[in-house]
Amino acid sequence: MPATSKAQQKFMGIVHGLQKGTIKPSDVSGAAKKVAKTMKKKSAKDFAKTKHKGLPNKVRSENMNEDGHTDVASIERKLKLIIQDSVDTIKKLRSMSNEDSLPSWWTDKITLAKDYVSKSRDYIMNPAESVDEATSLGADMLLGGIATVIKKAGMRPKTAKMMGGGFKVSKRDKVGFKIDVEIRGMDKKKTFPLQFETERGMLYVVIKNKPIKLGKYTMVTQAAQNLKKVGAALIGDKDVKRIA
């Protein structure tokens, strides 16, 4: 299979060089080393020998077929890389003491990665049993991530509904959820209808038509801390505008 862009040909040239031993692993990126471990040598050679004439510098997506879906071989390579990364991580963890602490931003990423892989596995194993799963899988994952943020903030998500419009922030992503959230504090508890939206990797909560940035969606701890401040203001009947 020939390369589809100059950038891809250059990258696969490095991969092919690693496999032949003409390039030192210490001189290249981790991405190239990972691909070199899992890709067949003949495939890497075919990509690497592609002539630059007539190729664009870069294409929008190197892994997409015409129908917009990544092919099986590409996904299989990615899953093998996930397995290798997991094995390496477990080896490192086993060399540490059970009493050692780990940064919360790191453990948050592991939690999200586990959820993503688990949901993907459920779909591919039982596609016929998944109602509209092909279109709702990403939304389901995102909702699960937002629920994690809410729980980590000491709140309780009750009911949720995906938004179809009326976005205040999510102009490009057009993704949001209206979630009834139970907030406790000051010896009382109350349920508030909150609107959560995502835009360019950031998570927002909309209070009285005012968007409040909680932080990066993948940084669960940081987003939860900011949401906790919002909750404290709501339960205490304070001016939420001062939180932004």
Q: Which of 4-8, 63-67, 71-75, 110-114 has the lowest mean pLDDT?
A: 63-67
For residues 208 and 242, the answer to whether their CB atoms sit within 8 Å is no
List pLDDT tens digits, range 164-191.
Answer: 889 999 888 788 999 999 998 767 889 9
Q: How far apart are the first and last CA of the chain?
A: 52
If 0-12 CB within 10 Å is exposed, 13-18 middle and 19+ buried, where does residue 15 land?
buried
Burial 192-204 (b: 16+ CB within 10 A, else e): eebbbbbbeebbb
Report the pLDDT value the prediction gives residue 111, as an integer from 0 to 100. Answer: 85
Report the pLDDT value the prediction gives residue 76, as an integer from 0 to 100. Answer: 84
Q: How many residues does the chain have?
A: 244
In which residue are the tokens 């294409």 written?
59
Report the pLDDT value the prediction gives residue 206, as an integer from 0 to 100. Answer: 94
133: confidence class by pLDDT, cuts 50, 70, 90? very low
List pLDDT tens digits, range 228-243.
Answer: 999 998 887 555 555 5
- 223: Cβ contacts below 8 Å, ≥ 6 apart: 149, 203, 214, 215, 216, 217
Q: Where are the domains of the chain?
A: 141-243
Report the pLDDT value the prediction gives residue 215, as an integer from 0 to 100. Answer: 92
Instruction: Tell me, rounded to whole angstroms, the distance of Cα 78 from its chain centroid.
Output: 14
Rounded to the nearest integer, the mean pLDDT of the chain is 80
List pLDDT tens digits, range 19-55.
Answer: 988 988 888 777 788 888 888 888 888 878 888 777 6
Integer-rounded Cα radius of gyration of the chain: 23
* 139 vs 42: which has the higher pLDDT: 42
* 190 vs 144: which has the higher pLDDT: 190
